Structure 1
Amino acid sequence: MFFSCDLQVWLKKNGSSNPSRARFHQWPWTRIFSHACWLIWKAHCKQLFSEGIPSSLEVQQQCLFHLMEEVTMGTLSHKLLQHNHERSWTPPKEGEVRLDVDASIRQYSQATCDGVIRDATGEWIMGFEKALGAYPVSTAEILAIKTGLEVCKGLHISDIHVYSDSLEAINMLIKDSRTNHPFKEEIEETRKLLYEEWNVIISHANRENIHCADSMTRTVQVASQDVILYPEIPAWCREGFWRDKRTMAGG
């Protein structure tokens, strides 16, 4: 029941009910409803002050982001964004994959992206590369995350820990991109993937800890805007791959 009754009755009913739902099933409905009302009110205020109004999809994503915040032992944590301070390449947890991504700008401002997917033992699952077109580096880094998630989706992988060396790209995905951002569509498409029905975590990594993805970006002269997949370790990644295997934390 939405607005088929008096507003006060509607608010009271939604504040005390617990309807069945698929997308937000892990949180109490009262928490979801209060967050959604607050975000709709914020959107209304933005419209009043001519700041542009977010789409319904943006409101849903913002709601999910806030719901994923938790306080444990007095410390704020987040299910999507995880702060890691790894000294060497760290394998993902059992049942997860680690997705390292990187991007670079080549001649005439043409961007490319690359990535490597590995399992909990550090074994190679898949590598990929793609020509993106003319983009600034921060947007290219976002599209590297998007491409990597699309590859994982194609491989039917649902538990993913993404590592990027671009804090700017991560912050742009987490925060409101605003309606006037020149690459708002690319940001929103990537953000939509993050909030799909799977388990995704994003962490920042130092460049030396995503060595394989970085070496692909520096070595490959990719021209295709189709994703090129590498089910086997390419020659230019072998040295970095075996270095990670020897030194990986927990190994």
Structure 2
Amino acid sequence: MTPSGSWDVALLLSLFPTPVAHRILSIRCPDTSDGVDFCYWRWHDRFTVREAYLKCMENSLDSSSTHWDAVWSLSVPQRVRVFLWLALRQKLMTNLERQRRNLCNNVSCSRCSFAESTTHVLRDCAHARQIWDAVCSGTVSSSFYTADLHTWLLLNLRSRNILAPLDVPWNILFGSVCWHIWKCRNEYVFAGSNSHPDSVALHSIIWARHYYTATVVPQRLPSPLHDASPCQWSPPPSPWICLNTDGGVCKSTNIAKAGGLFRDNCGTWIRGYGRCIGIADPLTAELWAIHDGLILAWDLGFEMLQVQSDCAKAISTLTASTVRKDSHALIRSIHSLCQRGWEVDFVWIPREANQVVDQLVKDLPQSQYERVCIDGPPAYMSDLLSRDIHGPPYSRGSA
């Protein structure tokens, strides 16, 4: 622009192709009174990716098609939806598709001599059939193995029948099995890993259950001040690992300690840990207990972890939608740990149901600043551990 507020025509023509410069010259020069800049295009006042996509697809997009809902409304992670959409469009990178794109010469399946199409990988390969048989136990109809790919995918993705005794909708389980079959194929091709069909089937069922239960809206945290019902330690569903955490502050010294205990769904002690964290408030102590536990759990190779804490403030903060932008660095670090390749679930429990870890933290020496791991339960905790599993339940206010 010139100092007078008009376009510098000579400079525009030297910087841009003539048609572009002329487009610019036809636009009113900006002024400070115009407000904040925004993207503008010919079809709408304001640019959005949605409108751009609809414009690009206006001649081929059928908004009434049920194919969309069958995939994109499925209660599974987005990566699984994308995978199923690619399968429906026959765009998975099978050897047949790779040859079509001139990326390879051999179209054979890596496990057999048949051409590796999407249908072959997900259903017709002998290894895939063994997985389906392990999941369905012979309950699928004969048409399951005869329908064409498009029909096969849509029919199963639309079925919401609950498959007994797995207690999960068939469309979610079907999507999970397809996803794990594809992952199993890739691990075999690229890493030489040959997973047993029963193992793949089990993982598919476990993840399908998790997808299904994750869609349930979490209930509001109960108030310990108004609930006098008896309580007891609640084991996580198999094969989840339970992490009970607790933090405390000494009233006389303000020294804080934090620790936790890993147990399986049977209540078996896996490993305890704890340390002194210096002078801190109770919430920070609780957060350090969770933070240290997540790091240790990752090192131990746990894939599905349920964190149980009696600190309602810590749980509500860590499950809030604003956790990623929280001003507390420790909270942001916990959130970052949860974003790794595993499943972490936070659950509030009454203080009375957390007595084992409460006792473990109280017994830590105040000089123990390095994290100490406790591989087996101390003898004096045997009664508490037994009561957690077998009862009787604790009365509220007994801790």
TM range (shorter): 0.5 to 0.7
Q: Does 1:220 align with 2:364?
A: yes
User: Helix, strand or coil: the match of 1:130?
Assistant: strand
Deviates more, 1:233-242 or 1:125-134: 233-242
**Matched-pair contact (CA < 8 Å) for 2:304–2:343:** yes
Q: Which residue of 2 aligns with 1:102?
A: 246
The aligned amino acid for 1:137 is P
Task: Find the counterpart in structure 2 of residue 115 from structure 1.
Answer: 260
Structure 1 partner of 2:79: 25
Show the counterpart of 1:197. 341
Offset of 1:9 from its aligned partner? 7.7
Change (3 A) 1:191 1:228: same
- Correspondences of 1:166-181 after superposition (within 5 Å): 166-175=311-320, 176=322, 181=327
Q: How do residues 1-251 of structure 1 correspond to structure 2 at under 5 angstroms?
A: 8=47, 10-11=49-50, 12-13=52-53, 24-26=78-80, 76-77=217-218, 87-106=231-250, 107-175=252-320, 176=322, 181=327, 184-247=328-391
Determine the C-alpha separation between the residues in 2 that align with 1:188 and 1:178. 6
CA distance in 1, matches of 2:296, 2:312: 22
Distance in 2, matches of 1:179 and 1:71, equals: 24
Instruction: Give, in angstroms, the shift of residue 194 of structure 1.
Output: 2.2
Post-superposition Cα deviations, 1:68-112, rounded to whole Å, max 9, x if no partner, equal 99765xxx348xx998x9831122211111110000012432211
Highest CA radius of gyration, 1 or 2? 2
Which position in structure 1 is the counterpart of 2:12? none
1:52 is aligned to: none
Q: Give the distance between the partners of 1:70 and 1:117, measured in 2 at CA.
A: 22
Distance in 2 separating the partners of 1:231 and 1:195 = 27
Query: Contact 2:275–2:364 (CA<8 Å) still a contact in 1?
Result: no
Q: What is the percentage of aligned positions where both structures have the same residue?
A: 21
SS at 1:108 equivalent:
coil
- TM norm structure 1: 0.65
**Pair 124,86 (structure 1): closer, same or farther in 2 beyond 3 Å:** farther
- Larger fraction in strand: 1
Contact 2:323 2:335 in 1 (8 A): no
Deviation at 1:222, TM superposition (A): 4.2
Structure 2 CA distance for partners of 1:117 and 1:178, relative to 1, 3 Å: closer
Q: Is the 8 A contact 1:91 1:248 kept in 2?
A: no
Which segments of structure 1 move beyond 6 Å, counting only runs of 4 or more? none
Amino acid paired to 2:329 = E
Distance change in 2, residues 1:222/1:138 (3 Å)? same
Any unmatched runs of 5+ in structure 1? 1-5, 30-67
Instruction: Give the superposition deviation at 1:172.
Output: 2.0
> Alpha carbons of 1:147 and 1:178: their partners in 2 closer, same or farther (altered >3 Å)?
closer
Which 5+ residue runs of structure 2 have no aligned equivalent?
Answer: 1-40, 58-70, 72-76, 84-211, 223-228, 394-399
What letter matches 1:25 in structure 2? R
Q: CA deviation at 1:208?
A: 1.3
Distance 2:82 2:271 in 1: 38
Query: Would the aligned equivalents of 2:271 and 2:373 in 1 still touch at CA under 8 Å?
Result: yes
SS in structure 2 of the partner of residue 241 of structure 1: helix
Q: Could you say what secondary structure the match of 2:79 adopts?
A: coil
The Cα RMSD (Å) is 3.7
Structure 1 match to 2:163: none
Tell me if the contact between 1:82 and 1:201 (Cα under 8 Å) persists in the aligned partners. no
Measured in 2, the distance between the counterparts of 1:207 and 1:173 equals 18
Name the aligned partner's letter for residue 236 of structure 2: P
State the distance in 1 between where 2:275 and 2:392 align: 27
| Partner Cα separation in structure 1 for residue 270 and residue 337 of structure 2 | 20
TM-score, normalised to structure 2's length?
Answer: 0.42
Aligned partners of 1:248, 1:151: CA distance in 2, in Å? 31
